[in-house]
Amino acid sequence: MKTLSSILTSPALMVLLAVGCTSSYKHVIIVHGILSGPNDLQTLSRFITEEHPSTKVTVIDLFNNMESIKPLWKQVHGVGKVIQRIMKKSPRGVHLLCFSQGGLICRGVLSVLPNHNVHAFIALASPLAGQYGVMKSYYPSSAMDSVYFLCYNKFMQKRISLCNFWNDPHQQVKYLKHNNFLPLLNGRKPHSKMAEWRKNFLRIKKLVLIGGPDDDVIIPWQSRYLRSHLCISNIMNGRDFFLFYREDTFGLRTLDARSDIIMCSCSGVKHSEWDSNQQVFKRCIKPWLD
């Protein structure tokens, strides 16, 4: 007759327990950045499945490569439909892991999608507060001063994604007047759906912001750190940025009060390395994939 000890330590039971534990992980949805596609995020996907073998991982296969420069609202609605289908099959909830421009797309999805069940929104090297500079090793800072001529008009706002989050600190009047994406999400440009979008965004359980000072693409690099960006970034004047934190226009202060904002900084990581750096994954991403 088998003893209780032999039953509890039997290989079959151990396997069943392992399966039961690993199958509890939530579905992870990965959204790629600009000028990239699903193939570029296979390493990140592999990191997840190696740590949690039974986790379902979906890398969104939409707006890939050159298609990724299409206007962000178009991408938000397209990606949102795919995410919504996945959520319907994931009653326990999902995690959103969004790289670079993909973080802005996910921000839009989380704002406009009611009754979503996203637990952790993980923004990996994403310019959530906007961009003012690209590839600092190749383009002089003086070249950045003229981008607003290209971006701040109705024609380009409807055609180029970069223009939707280009945030020139010297041209804030034009930014607020012509940019039809980021000021709406951040609540700097009041609109009739602000309360609804805020309510939708606050359904997330955790906001995880990941970045570092050696990123050579996202300028200023602090753009991904919404709260700390207040003091150390020149992307916009402190009064205006503090306004949407103080007035809680999209829920940032509420998340902070809930202790649901996590910031993870890593030095020595270039922009193209965030999605393939195992130390970044283990330190900044893995802890939030329950």
Tens digit of each residue's pLDDT (9 = 90 or more) over 123-160: 999 999 898 877 554 445 667 778 999 999 999 999 99
| Residue labelled with tokens 């290989």 | 11
Nearest by Cα to 34 from 105, 82, 86, 95:
105
Q: What is the pLDDT of residue 95?
A: 98
Angle at 162 between CA 228 and CA 205, to 5 degrees: 45
Q: Domains of the chain: which residue ranges?
A: 24-130+191-288
| 209: three-class secondary structure by DSSP | strand
Strands of the sheet with 94-99, listed across from one edge: 57-59, 27-31, 94-99, 118-124, 206-211, 261-265
At residue 38, the pLDDT reads 97
Question: What is the rounded distance in angstroms from the CA atom of residue 4 to the CA atom of residue 151?
Answer: 71
CATH fold of 24-130+191-288: Rossmann fold (3.40.50)
Helix (H, G, I), strand (E, B) or coil at 172: helix
Q: What is the pTM of this model?
A: 0.87
Q: Cα separation of 152 and 167, whole Å?
A: 10
pLDDT digits (tens, 9 = 90+) for 152-202: 999 999 999 999 999 998 899 999 999 999 999 999 899 999 999 999 999
State residue 62's pLDDT score.
Answer: 98
pLDDT for residue 210: 95
* Omega of the bond leading into 220 within 30 degrees of 0 (cis): yes
CA 132 and chain centroid, separation? 18
In this prediction, residue 241 carries a pLDDT of: 55
Q: Which residues, given as ranges, of the chain have pLDDT below 70?
A: 1-23, 135-142, 223-242
Catalytic residues: 100, 215, 271
